[in-house]
Amino acid sequence: MYDGYCYKYDVSLPLSAFYQLVLDMRDRLGANATRVVAYGHVGDGNLHLNITSRQYSKTTFDLIEPFVFEWVAKYRGSISAEHGLGLKKREYIHHSKTPSAVALMAAVKKTIDPKGIMNPYKVLPESILR
């Protein structure tokens, strides 16, 4: 089955909120989404959220982000689970980590990688690494 474009998210949530994200995204997106489904690892709370639409739409994207990250933070989850932050989610790290935790991460990164050559542009927002 091919629905078109797929918006993919990898989050972790408390089990009490595990599937509610799917229901809330369905309500939020309505006809903008062809399908909103999730699967994951119940044992450790990792949820793979997949939202499809006939084609990529900036309107649909804007309905998803940053809402999905704010929703996860509200339920005390993490915007990054199994696949890490990478390039796509680094600017949203504050939804899962406190400012002091992010500052500590930046300090460690600067200590072990003062030239910024290891895994550049990933995990931490560039503004923090300056």
Residue-wise pLDDT tens digits, 6-43: 999 999 899 889 889 999 999 999 999 999 999 988 77
What pLDDT is stored for residue 84 in this prediction? 58
How many domains, in total, are found in the chain?
Answer: 2
- How far is C-alpha 11 from the chain's CA centre? 6
SS3 content of the chain, % helix, strand, coil (to 5): 40, 20, 40
Residues 29 and 58 reside in one and the same domain: yes
Strands of 1-130, DSSP E: 5-12, 35-41, 46-53
pTM exceeding 0.75:
no
* 24 and 48 share one domain: yes
Same domain, 77 and 104: no
Alpha-carbon distances, residue 104 vs 25, 84, 107, 111, 114 (angstroms): 33, 18, 5, 11, 15
**68 and 37 within one domain:** yes
